[in-house]
Amino acid sequence: MNAHFTTDLSPTSNSTISAPVTLIDHPLVQHKLSLMRSKDASTSTFRTLLNELSMLMAYEVTRDMTMQTVEIETPLETMQAKVIDGKKLVFVSILRAGNGILEGMLSVVPSARVGHVGLYRDAATLEAVEYYFKMPQDMQERDIIVVDPMLATGNSAIAAIDRLKKLNPKSIKFVCLLTCPEGISALQAAHPDVPIFTAAIDRQLNDHGYILPGLGDAGDRIFGTR
Ligand code: URA
């Protein structure tokens, strides 16, 4: 059973009720995440584990997808069978680390569409600056799952969701591997309607915007750039 939090985790929170934060506490998820956190995990191990974890998280985040009933023929008789309803889901990757989550999610939902938002963190202000934005068509008819391994300051997630909301999608969810109270508070304050799915809520942010104890720079660890 996953843990659900429906209120802001910040000590300074007001009483606004936000969409839930779901902590995906399945033992397989927790075990793989611990292996990924170790500084000794190689790039290839890190990537493999992220791929596996992303499949498991996709399973959780798509749990409430709308279904419809259609008639099919089994080899023995006709039956009313459930299939996923509506336009294809969109996974939106916040570049570049979000791409590390895409492969696993797409192996579980292969027909999903994919959008990309390119944002970089200004080193001085930690604010998100957009440099790329490409989405599928008919976004107003689609459900969006935004993926980024780390919800740290929340600036990238907030900027990406600000932009996505202008396309009037049916719904938006946010999935990360790791977050912290500061990241959750910031995202909930900006977008209280967006549910958050995470495999861990760590202790805090440091002065450089990194999550502690965390796993370091997710992009560098996925792509072996350090
Ligand atoms: N981005 C990362 O890759 N790691 C952190 O700890 C915070 C933001």
Instruction: Characterize 175-198 residue by residue with b for buried, 16 or more Cβ atoms within 10 angstroms of its Cβ, and e for exposed.
Output: bbbbbbbbbbbbbbbebeebbbbb
Which pLDDT score, from 0 to 100, does residue 10 have? 44
Which pLDDT score, from 0 to 100, does residue 8 have? 46
- Cβ–Cβ under 8 Å, residues 201 and 179: yes
CATH classification of the domain holding 21: 3.40.50.2020
pLDDT in tens, 105-135: 999 999 999 999 998 877 788 777 889 999 9
pLDDT in tens, 6-53: 544 444 444 578 889 999 999 999 999 999 999 999 999 999 999 999
- Distance from residue 217's CA to the centre of ligand 1 (Å): 5
Residue 198 contacts by C-beta under 8 Å, 6 or more apart in sequence?
21, 22, 23, 24, 151, 175, 176, 177, 178, 179
Parent domain of 112: 3-223
Antiparallel, parallel or unpaired: β 178-179 and 150-151: parallel
User: 202 an active-site residue?
Assistant: no
pLDDT in tens, 138-196: 999 999 999 999 999 999 999 999 999 999 999 999 999 999 999 999 999 999 999 99
User: 64 an active-site residue?
Assistant: no
- Which of 94, 121, 215 maximizes ligand 1 atoms within 8 Å of its Cβ, making it the mutation to test the pocket? 215
Region 90-94: mean pLDDT is 97
Which pLDDT score, from 0 to 100, does residue 15 have? 56
* % of the chain exceeding 70 in pLDDT: 94
Residue 210 CB–ligand 1 contact under 6 Å: yes
> Is residue 2 over pLDDT 90?
no
* % of the chain exceeding 90 in pLDDT: 83
Number of structural domains the chain divides into: 1
User: 143 an active-site residue?
Assistant: no
Given 45, 62, 163, 217, the catalytic residue: 217
- When the pLDDT of each residue in the chain is averaged and rounded to a whole number, the result is 92
Q: Return d(Cα 151, Cα 157) in angstroms, integer.
A: 7
How would residue 136 be classed by pLDDT, with cut points 50, 70 and 90?
Answer: very high
pTM (2 d.p.): 0.91
Q: Return d(Cα 29, Cα 16) in angstroms, integer.
A: 30
How would residue 57 be classed by pLDDT, with cut points 50, 70 and 90?
Answer: very high
Which pLDDT score, from 0 to 100, does residue 5 have? 62
Q: Return d(Cα 53, Cα 63) in angstroms, integer.
A: 16
Which pLDDT score, from 0 to 100, does residue 121 have? 73
- Distance from residue 180's CA to the centre of ligand 1 (Å): 11
Please, where are the H alpha helices in the chain? Answer: 27-37, 43-61, 99-108, 155-165, 181-190, 218-223
